[in-house]
Amino acid sequence: MVRTVPVADPGDLVLQLRGPGPLAWIRRGEGLAGWGEVARVTVPAGQDRFTAADKWLRALLDGARVEDHVGEPGCGPVAFGSFTFDPTSEGSVLILPQVVLGRRAGQAWLTTITGQPPAQPVPSRLPESLLPGSVLSRPPATPPAGPGLVRWHDGSLTAPQWERAVASAVGRIKAGRLQKVVLSRDLYASAAGLIDERLLLDRLAARYPDCYTFSCGGLVGATPELLIKRQGGQISSLVLAGTAPRADDPAHDAALGAGLLASAKDTEEHGYAAAGVRQSLAPLCDQLTVARRPALLRLANVQHLATAISGRLAVRGDGTIPSVLALADALHPTAAVCGTPTETAMELIRELEGMDRGRYAGPVGWVDSAGNGEWCIALRCAEVDGKRARLFAGGGIVADSDPAAELAEAQAKFRPMQSALEG
């Protein structure tokens, strides 16, 4: 039994999260917050993992009784998901929560999912003030607490080893093996106490409001890169590649942005990413609009080259349009997180990184029963497990890349999660 009803504005979505394993998708205070689990599937590795996840969700919801009194994307049954970067890696997951609290464009709603229909009929609308004893008026059982002292440890490669990996990649590119490859590194944190994912979400959402703050199956982060959004037949994507730091001085900050827009290295790297997304979406759309040139996306700590893409899905022969999971499947991996050509870059990543990325740089997001949803690329994130966390960062490598500069860029990309852990 699934029921969605309007509710009064719940305030901060993160503060409403209950218990362990929070599920979240929040940007500028809007989005979805979920807790509890009705069902979870760990999707087997393989090229068909998105299709397998979609089939599992459809089978799970087949025959469900749905009472939706709001009727917006993200209402009714919603599953949160996170997929591995490499199709050969295990660990992709899709979770159907017991409770989802949503807010968008001044409207808020509450979805509850149970195994059996309720004994009493569902009201068409809840009171404007939430009832005492309701699922929202009760405070969280344990408020978020800091993890205490955090110590840092090298991941699979030390900084000098990773610089050598970048140099090796540049050599392969100059030899004509490929045009671009994205190399990442990891960093481990060990804390004195348990790491509460809700605290990380709270800090990330407050500090990076223009990013998509997410939590799914222990993977927590704030990513700027929208892989695909589907609302009915309309889709949108935001391609990011090419990075420069921010500066406190406005003139210096503007100069850094202008330098990024003029950088041959960064515009080349960005061009591969934008072209790849366009090529993947074009066969699925009867209308597709791609910005002619990249613009600057300025975030709190870095600025990126960004290309906005929007379109309308074409109706297939059977009268349907692809679900957001099918679209994520068509797009992943993009050149922004893998390289060009894809297969050559993937093989080089496996050779040089010395690690399994897991769900880092894979799609993360949500999907509803109508196939609507939003999926980002899991960047600026960490896998949290008790008192330990594994952080990830990286950058695109092309022929003009400098290993020391790439290391500095990766270290800058670690900082959002490092500061979220430290306070």
Among all residues, which ones are annotated catalytic?
180, 225
> What is the number of other CB atoms lying within 10 angstroms of the CB of residue 377?
29
3-state secondary structure of 317: coil
**Distant-in-sequence, close-in-space partners of 336: CB < 8 Å, separation ≥ 6:** 182, 225, 239, 240, 241, 273, 276, 377, 396
Classify residue 20 by burial, with Cβ atoms within 10 Å: 0-12, 13-18, 19+: exposed
Q: How is residue 334 annotated by DSSP?
A: P
CA distance linking residue 43 with residue 49, whole number of Å: 6
Sign of CA dihedral 225, 383, 29, 111: positive
List CB contacts of 21: < 8 A, sequence separation 6 or more. Answer: 35, 37, 197, 217, 218
Half-sphere exposure of 44 (CA within 13 A, CB side): 6
Rounded to the nearest 10 degrees, the angle between the axes of helix 264-281 and helix 250-262 is 60
SS3 254: helix
Checking DSSP bridges between strand 2-7 and strand 66-68, what pairing results, if any? parallel
3-state secondary structure of 106: coil
Question: Each residue of 282-304: b (16+ CB within 10 Å) or e?
Answer: eebbeebebeeebebbbbeebbb
Tell the residue number behind the tokens 């870059």, with chain if given.
345
Which amino acid is residue 57, in one-letter code? L
DSSP states along 5-29: EEE---S-TGGG--SSS-EEEEETT
Q: Which two tokens stand for residue 309?
A: 């893409």
